[in-house]
Structure 1
Amino acid sequence: MSERRARALLSMYRFAGAAAYPLIGPYVAWRASRGKEDRARSRERYGFAGRPRPEGPLIWVHAASIGEMIAVVSLVESILDHGVNIVLTTGTVTSARIAEERLGGRVIHQYVPLDLKPAVSRFLDHWQPDLAVIAESEIWPMTILELGARSVPQVLVNGRLSDRSFASWKKRPSLAEALFENLAHVVAQSDIDGERFRALGARPVTVSGNLKVDTPPPPVDERALAALQRQIGDRPSWAAVSTHDGEEMIAAEVHVTLRHRHPGLLTIIVPRHPDRAEALLTAFEGMELKVAQRSKGEKITADTDILLGDTVGEMGLYLRLTEIAFVGRSLTSEGGQNPLEPAMLDTAVLAGRNVQNFRESYQKLLDSGGAKLVRDRNMLAGAVNFLLSNEAARHDMMAAGAATVEEMRGALARTLKALEPFIQPLIVKARLKGANGK
């Protein structure tokens, strides 16, 4: 694809978005009906501000969903400590809740505008950011073009390109370059990600490591934790977390296979999408398994087979209830989910082989002995059985995972160093404003 054609396609995208804008309402309403949009704040998706803009320099930080939100918490806190205002956007209701829990009123939270020119322009007209910091792999053409047209520096942090995304962009190199040339800096998660961004025309590119390593362990309600620990007692347990369709049934089948070898076995299943809980409950009950549903406050009794973790923001609770965790989206789906939170909470990590999106993290955990990949249900059952039966091996694996996470730290410092040329002038401006009282 020629450079001229790529720019023509981007212009068409701009006009198509403007034409589609009046028709997008039913789509947003449909998402709201399914709990995927905050109905009371739906106007924010069209770029209408829910809050006034504060005086002084302002940075727009975007973190699409829960994973990205957790990754940028420490980065956002570091910037806030210098007195610079932040408007933080997310794309999901659950990530908005995480923002409120972790950052409270220190940031201005808004839902990200739809990637359509009227919505993006309205958002930028109101907030007038001095800098845009985008987390991970959010590549929205209209937003990037509009920021570029206004000469607002854009920095992609914790940047990641999955195998699928890279292959897709690679087929359209001129289009990728026409977009990525608008980025002032890309801070990539890994050497592989860095090379991919460079191949697509991004300049400059540096590598920081994964920001999620430098986040605090997921928080927990200590009273809730103590209550559940009392209910579980000394029963053997394992968890299947961040699971996708099909993996919950595999976990239930593993439970049936192992419960006679490990009397009193409790299996904790935490689906990635809690709205699937009722369907899962029906399926488990069809297997004659007794389920305690966390969202309903049901207690774990002596004959409970499965604790169904169908709540948002309680991963820290579930992981602290066990020493073995299978991390989903890796057996029946592709890409994997983040293994770092289980590892930093002294948990032996198991996963399927489809973990391309977290390749470097898994490789380091595998090399140290902190994680093990399994091929199928039978291999997962064997791995869980082995770890339940061998305390020394389980604890060695837990310690190796925690040590690996510790060795991987430093991404936050490297990211802040890359951002320094963009943020330092804003810090000076904020301090001058404070000193002058204007």
Structure 2
Amino acid sequence: MTPAPLTPVLRLYRMLATLAAPLALRMARKRFAARQGPMARFGERNGHASQPRPGGRLIWMHTVSVGEFLSVLDLLHELDAPDLSLLVTTTTSSAADLAARRLPQGVIHQFAPLDTPMAVRRFLDHWRPDLAAFVESEIWPNQIVMAAERGIPAVLLNARLSASSLRAWGRVPATASALLGRFARIMTQSDDTRRALESLGAPAAILETTGDMKAAAAPLPFDAAEAAALHHRIGSRPLWVAASTHDGEEGAVSAAHRQLCAAHPDALLILVPRHPERGDAIEALLRAEGWRLARRSAGAAPTEEQQIYLADTLGETGLWYHLAPLVFVAGSLTPVGGHNPYEPAHFGCAILHGPLHANFKQAYDTLGREEACLGVADANDLGRALRALLDPDHPERLQRLQTNARRYLKSAANNRAAVARTLIAMLR
């Protein structure tokens, strides 16, 4: 099927991306340095490869950050074949750090090129992928169009678009149709997304609902010996985790924990910031509020005297989920869009979340229908929920959320395998 011609909007985007490339590169460098990315590899963002291309066939899979990377990690294992090379790109340094520890042997990692014509051209000239796979909502016009111009088939995996994204694309329907029509296959998380993409002009023949791959991902890893040591140290104290907090949420979490401590003075909060480099600022805030705390990045462990454990490290989220019966998934009290609730569900955690979770609306809607999560409106509401769920006189409240979360995830196990079969068939 011949794709639709480029629209004036796409031509204008390409021209502006060319003109703005120096500014975009400077801004990307500043963000890269602020997030403590490896500056020796920043050239990858401008399309300069830091590794040679292996011979034979190659799949390029682009994920943005930690959540998207983890959703395809098991898929990368299933795609392992002697005559096939895999290239994974990420945008964030946190995802790159995780990739360095968890990618299967032989899989190449690079930082994704900026969506400027020159950076994309250099990237494609070097890597020459036989198949390009974009994950979730990664619709970058130059990458998609330039891959199509070279005859590289592209697929969109685990596709989801927020309501605001759908409205934005709906204002330029011809452009949306031209981009979506350049995919060889689009695999959506839900029938609602499939229908929405079809309404934007994606051909029905390339659309398929395969379910949410994040629900089918393997549990996060953790150090069993460290878990046992921390469990012994914490003992039977009422325990909860505030995971992936963002600027502005630590104050709310602190207020909720104060409510819990009024009923349970020995309660312990494990606070896990989304960006560990904010640890100094968070520690200063909490100490100013009078909390006694220990900090993971300083090598300290929680003691009986401490009320908050600041877990400002990368790659240990699975450890905190393993320890805690109850998790508040943050990024949902500020307009971040929420974070992945399936990760704590794998550990049988009761899940709380705020109202601002547009990026995971389907996940929370599904878990909500299964009575496997509970929404809170603000800090006061979070505090009340903590007191109710950690009430030793009513353990059934906590147990119901935990049991329902485990039950739902068992039904999601076949999604990833279905996607792997489709990719292998397309490559052949």
Q: TM-score, normalised by structure 2?
A: 0.94
Contact 1:329/1:335 (CA < 8 Å) preserved in 2?
A: yes
* Closer, same or farther: CA 192–83 of 1 in aligned 2, 3 Å: same
Contact 2:44/2:112 (CA < 8 Å) preserved in 1?
A: yes
* Closer, same or farther: CA 83–212 of 1 in aligned 2, 3 Å: farther
Contact 1:155/1:185 (CA < 8 Å) preserved in 2?
A: yes
- Do residues 169 (structure 1) and 169 (structure 2) align? yes
Shift of 1:60: 0.6
Equivalent AA in structure 1 for residue 348 of structure 2? D
Shift of 1:321: 1.7
> Which residue of 2 is the match for residue 107 of structure 1?
107
Equivalent residues in 2 for 1:215-364 (5 A)? 215-333=217-335, 335-364=337-366
- Do residues 46 (structure 1) and 50 (structure 2) align? no
Which segment drifts farther, 241-250 or 399-408?
241-250
Where 1:139 maps in the other structure, the secondary structure is: coil
* Closer, same or farther: CA 343–25 of 1 in aligned 2, 3 Å: closer
> Which residue of 2 is the match for residue 430 of structure 1?
none
Give the total of aligned pairs: 422
Where 1:156 maps in the other structure, the secondary structure is: strand
> Which residue of 2 is the match for residue 435 of structure 1?
none
Contact 2:77/2:104 (CA < 8 Å) preserved in 1?
A: no
CA distance in 2: counterparts of 1:355 and 1:12, whole angstroms: 33
> Which residue of 2 is the match for residue 405 of structure 1?
409
> Which residue of 2 is the match for residue 421 of structure 1?
425
Where 1:89 maps in the other structure, the secondary structure is: strand
Q: CA RMSD for the aligned pairs?
A: 1.9
- Do residues 126 (structure 1) and 126 (structure 2) align? yes
Contact 2:259/2:384 (CA < 8 Å) preserved in 1?
A: no
CA distance in 2: counterparts of 1:319 and 1:144, whole angstroms: 37
Shift of 1:331: 2.3
> Which residue of 1 is the match for residue 29 of structure 2?
29
Contact 1:132/1:153 (CA < 8 Å) preserved in 2?
A: yes
Shift of 1:354: 2.5
- Do residues 391 (structure 1) and 381 (structure 2) align? no
Where 1:71 maps in the other structure, the secondary structure is: helix
CA distance in 2: counterparts of 1:33 and 1:277, whole angstroms: 17
Where 1:80 maps in the other structure, the secondary structure is: coil
- Do residues 8 (structure 1) and 16 (structure 2) align? no
Shift of 1:104: 4.5
CA distance in 2: counterparts of 1:343 and 1:29, whole angstroms: 36
Equivalent AA in structure 1 for residue 188 of structure 2? A
Shift of 1:172: 1.2
CA distance in 2: counterparts of 1:305 and 1:171, whole angstroms: 50
Equivalent residues in 2 for 1:180-219 (5 A)? 180-203=180-203, 204-219=206-221
> Which residue of 1 is the match for residue 367 of structure 2?
365
CA distance in 1: counterparts of 2:189 and 2:395, whole angstroms: 34
CA distance in 2: counterparts of 1:197 and 1:258, whole angstroms: 44
Contact 1:6/1:174 (CA < 8 Å) preserved in 2?
A: no
CA distance in 1: counterparts of 2:142 and 2:34, whole angstroms: 26
- CA deviation profile, 1:27-60 (whole Å, cap 9, x unmatched): 2432233135320111111111111111111111
Contact 1:270/1:310 (CA < 8 Å) preserved in 2?
A: yes
Q: TM-score, normalised by structure 1?
A: 0.92
Shift of 1:81: 4.0
* Closer, same or farther: CA 177–246 of 1 in aligned 2, 3 Å: same
Contact 1:292/1:300 (CA < 8 Å) preserved in 2?
A: yes
- CA deviation profile, 1:128-167 (whole Å, cap 9, x unmatched): 1110011111111111111011110000001110111111
CA distance in 2: counterparts of 1:206 and 1:173, whole angstroms: 21
Q: Which runs of 4+ in 1 moved over 6 A?
A: 3-6
CA distance in 1: counterparts of 2:127 and 2:301, whole angstroms: 47
Contact 1:244/1:333 (CA < 8 Å) preserved in 2?
A: no
Shift of 1:384: 0.8
Where 1:161 maps in the other structure, the secondary structure is: coil
Equivalent AA in structure 1 for residue 351 of structure 2? V
Question: How many percent of aligned residue pairs carry the same amino acid?
Answer: 37
CA distance in 1: counterparts of 2:122 and 2:358, whole angstroms: 37
> Which residue of 1 is the match for residue 98 of structure 2?
98
Where 2:362 maps in the other structure, the secondary structure is: helix
Contact 1:208/1:410 (CA < 8 Å) preserved in 2?
A: no
Which segment drifts farther, 301-310 or 409-418?
409-418
Where 2:263 maps in the other structure, the secondary structure is: coil
What runs of 5+ residues in structure 1 fail to find an aligned partner?
426-438
* Closer, same or farther: CA 369–149 of 1 in aligned 2, 3 Å: same
Equivalent AA in structure 1 for residue 125 of structure 2? D
* Closer, same or farther: CA 333–20 of 1 in aligned 2, 3 Å: closer
